[in-house]
């Protein structure tokens, strides 16, 4: 939880109107509004701040606010306090508008300017695009035509949710369109994983502990595993997921970001661009993944029916809006090499999937074994393992060997766990609290810079193209399992295994 109580309350420069395109959508109800509520509770919302939710549906402001209130009860990580809610309630406006009507943006402009006059929001704006990606361009063009995208006397920021394009070409085209209207420094590309506590903690763990940083390389680390596994299926998002699959949904974005934080060199300072430049170099150093390499080092899967937490669930092809012969992958396991001095020879194993038997996000650092002499002459040794636990537990786990107190020389494996169960699980609202707060302050460190997105697409595209060509029998894993058999073989042929901590 952020504890900077009253940190920015009253600061005039942060006064702003948050304009949410997609104000009646799922993201606004489940994440954005609860995040704003909790930010208010923590004193992180400026005194002069207004939220304008844009929706196509005809409803009064009161009706809209009541709906948000109901969502607040469901999704806020803190209980709803009447006084705080009353403040948020007062800040929320509902503006009925079909954002595809480009000639109506002038009216929106007038409306927002009117709010500035009454609420002292100084013309500062956050345009948050919580809409389907096909509308990103339309909205940006609308903002541009009505002269709302830039202002000499105030700041204007654009926030976009993923997916950012569906391959390198479309991402480039979209980016080009955005850059015709907004400056790169004003574009905030959300990757909500970067807002999670333990993801931010990766750099702190690495660069503030001599014990870790001195051995954080191929001389001491045997392999790194990044696992983001979900019990949930595609739910109501079939229409989107069918064209996305795990490669675009998780690997191109969240996993590439995590990988770059785990493997990056220490930046020269903690400034946004210094950090982003080091992250970019990691993705650029990923060994060229040609078809021959992929044949042996990637596994795709799709879930069939099965049982999750004792409840029978349908297979992917039976989900809503999914064709019965769908080839979309809901699981990927992958081995990558980062070809630089720090990492050459240390493999990075990645695994992500839906409808798996276990829910969690973890980074496992497995250290190299000692020579099999002395204590390990006659017994197998358990490796030292450091686990950065992102969710549902949040914290660090460390495994090491000690003498068994009750015998003369037996060795036992000791597990030290500083992690605790996070009060909120999954797509954590805290992530959004942190991210919205940073957008307000104009700090884009936890957002993806264009060249990072581009480099990640460059890698993902090659794997997606390979997947489109390979013939796999699908579905190939049962819901409730830990993915296709081949994902285990991927490890076993290297003499390793997936760690489930
Ligand atoms: C989103 C994906 O970006 O991340 C979803 O689109 C996925 O498919 C979600 O379920 C996972 O996020 P979290 O925070 O629940 O781990």
CA–CA gap between residue 343 and residue 285 (Å, rounded): 10
Residue with CA at minimum distance from ligand 1 atom 13: 427
- DSSP, collapsed to helix, strand or coil, labels residue 337 as strand
Q: 114 CA to middle of ligand 1, Å?
A: 37
Highest mean pLDDT among 117-121, 132-136, 304-308, 417-421: 304-308
In angstroms, the Cα distances linking 322 to 238, 298, 341 are 6, 24, 45
pLDDT score recorded for residue 422? 62
CA dihedral 111, 116, 117, 123 (to 10 degrees): -110
Token couple for 178: 């955005």
195-369+450-492: what CATH class? alpha beta
Bond before 10 cis per omega within 30 degrees? no
Confidence band for 420, pLDDT divided at 50, 70 and 90: confident
Distance 250 CA to ligand 1 centre (A): 7
Q: Does the pLDDT value for residue 377 go beyond 90?
A: no
Q: What is the pLDDT of residue 13?
A: 81
CB of 239 closer than 6 A to ligand 1? Answer: no
Q: Which atom of ligand 1 is nearest to the CA of 244?
A: 6
Task: Answer for the pair 138, 100: CB distance below 8 angstroms, yes or no.
Answer: yes
pLDDT confidence bin for 146, thresholds 50/70/90: very high
Q: Please check whether residue 246 is in contact with residue 331, taking contact to mean a CB–CB distance below 8 angstroms.
A: yes
Mutate to test the pocket of ligand 1, among 160, 191, 250 (most ligand atoms within 8 A of CB): 250
Report CA(112)–ligand 1 centroid distance (Å).
33
The CA distance from 348 to 444, in Å, is 27
- Its pTM stands at 0.92
- Nearest 5°: the CA angle 111, 39, 359 is 115
pLDDT bin (cut points 50, 70, 90) of residue 270 is very high
pLDDT at 378: 78
Tokens of 72: 């607040």
**CA proximity to 468, closest of 250, 294, 233:** 294
Mention every residue, 6+ apart, whose C-beta is less than 8 A from residue 69. Answer: 80, 85, 89
Q: Is the pLDDT of residue 5 over 80?
A: no
Identify the residue whose C-alpha is closest to ligand 1 atom 11. Answer: 427
Our answer on whether the CB atom of 427 is closer than 6 Å to any ligand 1 atom is yes
**If you take atom 6 of ligand 1, which residue's CA is the nearest one?**
249
In short, whether 235's Cβ falls inside 6 Å of ligand 1 is no
Residue 263 corresponds to which tokens in the numbers above? 């493997």
297 alpha carbon to ligand 1 midpoint, in Å? 24
Q: Which atom of ligand 1 lies closest to the CA of 196?
A: 14
Cβ count within 10 A of residue 109 = 16
How far is 143 from 62, CA to CA, in rounded Å? 27
Do 54 and 162 contact (CB within 8 A), yes or no?
no
Among 209-223, 322-336, 426-440, which is the least confidently predicted range?
A: 426-440
pLDDT at residue 424, as a whole number: 53
Structure tokens at 167: 């391959």
Split at pLDDT 50, 70, 90, the class of 145 is: very high
Six-digit token pair at 467? 């997947």
Answer yes or no: is the C-beta of 362 below 6 A from any ligand 1 atom.
no
**Beta bridge pairs of residue 97:** none
Q: What's the DSSP call for residue 152? A: S
φ/ψ (deg, to 5) at 411: -110, 135
Q: What percent of the chain has pLDDT over 90?
A: 84
> What is the C-alpha to C-alpha distance for residues 113 and 50, in angstroms, rounded to an integer?
12
Atom of ligand 1 nearest to the CA of 237: 8
Q: Tell me, using a 6 A CB cutoff, whether residue 249 lines ligand 1.
A: yes
Cβ-based neighbours of 3, under 8 Å, separated by 6 or more: 42
Region 230-259: what's the mean pLDDT? 95
Query: What mean pLDDT comes out for the span 466-494?
Result: 96
CA distance 476 to 495: 23
Average pLDDT value for residue range 444-472: 95
pLDDT in tens, 345-369: 999 999 999 999 999 999 999 999 9
What are the tokens at 326? 């769908």
User: Counting atoms of ligand 1 from 1, which one is nearest the CA of 427?
Assistant: 14
Helix (H) or strand (E) run with residue 436 in it: helix 429-441
Question: In this predicted structure, what is the pLDDT of residue 423?
Answer: 56
| Candidate from 44-48, 384-388, 425-429 with smallest mean pLDDT | 425-429
Give me the chain's average pLDDT, please.
Answer: 93
In 113-155, DSSP assigns E strands to: 125-129
Closest ligand 1 atom to residue 425 Cα is: 15
Q: φ and ψ at 242, to 5 degrees?
A: -55, -30
Average pLDDT (300-309) is 98
The candidate with the shortest Cα–Cα distance to 84, out of 130, 43, 116, is 43
Q: Could you tell me if the CB of 197 is within 6 A of ligand 1?
A: no
Residue numbers annotated as active site: 254
The set of residues, in sequence order, having a beta carbon less than 8 Å from that of 155 and lying 6+ positions away, is 16, 124, 125, 186, 442
- For ligand 1, the distance from its centroid to the CA atom of residue 427, given in whole angstroms, is 6
CA-nearest residue for atom 8, ligand 1, is 249
Atom of ligand 1 nearest to the CA of 232: 10
Nearest CA to ligand 1 atom 12: 427
**Ligand 1 pocket test: which of 199, 230, 359, 433 has the largest number of ligand atoms within 8 Å of its C-beta?**
230
DSSP strand pairing (303-308 vs 311-313)? antiparallel
For the ranges 27-36, 310-319, 372-381, which has the lowest average pLDDT? 372-381
The closest-lying atom of ligand 1 relative to the alpha carbon of residue 254 is 3
SS3 assignment, position 424? coil
Class of domain 12-161: alpha beta
Mean pLDDT, rounded, for 444-450:
94
Instruction: Report residue 249: phi and psi, to 5°.
Output: -70, -40
| Token pair belonging to 387 | 């686990």
Tokens (6 digits) for 446: 């936890």
Task: Give the C-alpha separation, 33 to 71, whole Å.
Answer: 8
Q: Token pair of 170, please?
A: 């479309």
Which residues is 332 bridged to in the sheet? 300, 352
Which residue has a Cα nearest atom 2 of ligand 1?
Answer: 249
Cβ–ligand 1 contact at 191 (below 6 Å): no
Residues of the chain with CATH 3.30.360.10: 195-369+450-492
Q: So what's the pLDDT on residue 380?
A: 80
- Ligand 1 center–CA 232 separation, angstroms: 10
Q: Among 249, 257, 359, 391, which is best to mutate for testing ligand 1, by the most ligand atoms less than 8 A from CB?
A: 249
What distances in angstroms separate CA 95 from CA 34, 143, 427, one per listed residue?
20, 15, 27
Distance from C-alpha of 263 to C-alpha of 282, rounded to nearest angstrom: 7
pLDDT for 155 equals: 96
82-91 vs 61-75: helix axis angle to the nearest 10? 140
Rounded to an integer, the average pLDDT of 244-260 is 97
């Amino acid at each position: 939880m952020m504890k900077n109580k009253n940190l920015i309350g009253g600061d005039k420069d942060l006064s702003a109107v948050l304009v949410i395109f997609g104000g009646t959508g799922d993201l606004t109800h489940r994440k954005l509004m609860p995040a704003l509520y909790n930010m208010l509770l923590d004193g992180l919302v400026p005194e002069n701040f207004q939220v304008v939710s844009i929706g196509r549906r005809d409803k009064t402001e009161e009706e809209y606010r009541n709906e948000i209130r109901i969502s607040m009860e469901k999704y806020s990580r803190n209980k709803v306090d009447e006084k705080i809610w009353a403040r948020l309630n007062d800040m929320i406006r509902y503006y009925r508008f079909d954002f595809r009507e480009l000639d109506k943006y002038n009216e929106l402009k007038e409306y927002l300017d009117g709010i500035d006059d009454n609420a002292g929001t100084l013309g500062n704006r956050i345009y948050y695009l919580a809409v389907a990606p096909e509308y990103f361009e339309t909205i940006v063009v609308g903002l541009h035509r009505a002269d709302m995208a830039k202002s000499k006397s105030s700041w204007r920021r654009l926030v976009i949710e993923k997916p950012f394009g569906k391959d390198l070409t479309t991402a480039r085209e979209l980016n080009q369109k955005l850059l015709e209207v907004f400056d790169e420094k004003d574009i905030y590309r959300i990757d909500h994983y970067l807002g999670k506590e333990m993801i931010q903690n990766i750099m702190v763990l690495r660069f503030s502990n001599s014990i870790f940083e001195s051995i954080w390389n191929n001389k001491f680390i045997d392999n790194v595993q990044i696992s983001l596994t979900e019990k949930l299926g595609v739910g109501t998002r079939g229409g989107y997921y069918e064209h996305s699959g795990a490669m675009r949904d998780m690997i191109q974005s969240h996993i590439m970001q995590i990988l770059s934080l785990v493997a990056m060199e220490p930046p020269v300072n903690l400034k946004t661009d210094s950090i982003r430049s080091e992250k970019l170099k990691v993705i650029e150093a990923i060994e060229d993944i040609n078809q021959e390499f992929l044949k042996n080092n990637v596994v795709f899967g799709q879930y069939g029916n099965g049982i999750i937490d004792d409840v029978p669930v349908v297979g992917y092809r039976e989900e809503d809006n999914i064709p019965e012969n769908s080839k979309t992958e809901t699981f990927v396991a992958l081995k990558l090499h980062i070809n630089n001095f720090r990492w050459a020879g240390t493999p990075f194993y990645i695994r992500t999937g839906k409808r798996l038997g276990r829910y969690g996000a973890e980074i496992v650092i497995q250290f190299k074994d000692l020579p099999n002499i002395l204590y390990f002459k006659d017994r197998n040794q358990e490796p030292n393992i450091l686990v950065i636990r992102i969710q549902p537990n949040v914290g660090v786990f460390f495994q090491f060997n000690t003498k068994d107190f009750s015998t003369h020389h037996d060795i036992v494996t000791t597990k030290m766990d500083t992690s605790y169960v996070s009060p909120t699980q999954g797509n954590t609202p805290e992530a959004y609290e942190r991210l919205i707060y940073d957008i307000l302050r104009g700090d884009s460190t936890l957002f993806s810079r264009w060249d990072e997105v581009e480099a990640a697409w460059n890698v993902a595209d090659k794997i997606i193209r390979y997947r489109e060509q390979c013939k796999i029998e699908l579905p190939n894993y049962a819901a409730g399992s830990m993915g296709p058999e081949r994902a285990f073989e991927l490890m076993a042929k290297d003499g390793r295994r997936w760690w489930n901590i």
